[in-house]
Amino acid sequence: MYQSQISGVGKYVPENVVTNHDLTKIMDTTDEWIQERTGIKERRHIKKGDGNTTAVMGYKVAKIALERANIDKDDIDFIVFATLSPDYYFPGCGVQVQDMLDISTCPALDVRNQCSGFVYALSVADQFIKTGMYKNILVIGSENHSGGLDMTTRGRNVSVLFGDGAGLAVLTRCENKNKGVLSTHLHSEGKFVEELSLIGPSTKYWVPEIIKENPQENIPYYPQMNGQLVFKNAVVRFSEVINEGLAHNNLSAKDIDMLIPHQANLRIAQFIQKKFKLSNDQVHNNIQKYGNTTARSIPIALTEAWENNKIKTDDIVVLATFGSGFTWASAIIKW
């Protein structure tokens, strides 16, 4: 058995900044409401004509991370791409990145686990390295939320939360048994499937049916969320899955050097920070600048923490997430 370790990280965000104040011009909301409930001040949205798509941003961030990891594109054995906002209904974005990077017939897999997508993708990649099948894997999280949000007052409970961009980790085989991804822990609870979902168009809800059956006030092709239910489940599951990961490795909260929580809501992250008695230096949040970016929120926060020298060799880094499905997950990493 081998270990996998993160040999490079990267982030990419579109240039177009959308502040809370900008949103007040197109829907009935306020900067005060958004900051107080979520911590978000601004987010990035793809601008028509800037060339960005979910796959393109995944490609851009792959170039950055490969350079940092000092790995040639042709040494990549596998691409795992996490997103809920792919360029096409099918195929997934992984194959587009394979083509853009010009890696000959490299396998590509898309993971559709929303906010838990990156940790699920990391776990998949980790298993392929641990069994010895692959040496270098790109684990990408990328989202184009702005292309599919209801930017009117009707959709304000969801649309103010989300932003666009991509983050990535290069996972590489390592011989040291005490380094790298120590363990990953994955869960789901499908009875909540529609509590945070986009239900059409889909094979169950095709376009003509949507138009025929739904009055204007009930449009199923925008994301819908039972925010309070999500919030209540998130704080419980975050804590559980972090504790599960720590216990599995005979660690305690005192051993955490850096916690990277999925950036769903600053209040959720602060609740977890308090519960685990962590200082501001032991948790990295950036939802204030980028909003909730779903599958790319963890790799972008991880990249920022690393760029700011907040993560050192041998640090215990904990990734934890919760989202649509419901799904939740953690990863315990020795850097």
Instruction: Give catalytic residues, as residue numbers.
Output: 115, 262, 292
Measure the CA–CA gap between 234 and 215, rounded to whole angstroms.
32
Q: Which stretch binds ligand ACO (CB under 6 A): 5-13, 34-42, 125-133, 174-182?
A: 34-42
Q: How many CB atoms lie within 10 A of CB 331?
A: 26
Residues paired with 44 in a beta bridge: 17
**What are the backbone angles phi and psi of residue 27, rounded to the nearest 5°?**
-150, 165
Chain-centroid distance of CA 45 in Å reads: 16
Phi and psi torsions of 29, nearest 5°: -150, 170
Complex with ligand ACO: residue 129 or 264, whichever CB lies closer: 264
Please choose, out of 94-102, 171-179, 224-232, 278-286, the segment that lies near ligand ACO by the rule CB under 6 A: 224-232
Q: Interface with ligand ACO includes 196 (CB under 6 A)?
A: yes
Q: 37 or 68: whose CB is closer to ligand ACO?
A: 37
Rounded Cα distance between 77 and 184, Å, is 21
58-78: b (≥16 Cβ within 10 Å) or e: bbbbbebbbebbebebeebbb
Give the shortest CB-20-to-ligand ACO separation in angstroms: 9
Tell which one of 58, 245, 323, 334 touches ligand ACO (CB under 6 A): 323
Identity of the residue numbered 280: N
Q: Of the listed pieces 62-70, 172-180, 181-189, 263-271, which binds ligand ACO according to CB under 6 A? A: 263-271
**By CB under 6 A, residue 20 contacts ligand ACO:** no
In degrees, rounded to 5, the angle at the alpha carbon of residue 299 between the alpha carbons of residues 294 and 302 is 125
Of 152-181, which residues contact ligand ACO (CB under 6 A)?
156-157, 160
**Contact predicate 253/246, CB 8 Å:** yes
40 binds ligand ACO (CB under 6 A): no
Closest CB to ligand ACO among residues 101, 272:
272
Minimum CB separation from ligand ACO for residue 92, in Å? 17
Q: Which residues bind ligand ACO (CB under 6 A)?
A: 29, 33-34, 37-38, 114-115, 156-157, 160, 196, 227-228, 230-231, 234, 264-265, 268, 292, 294, 323-324
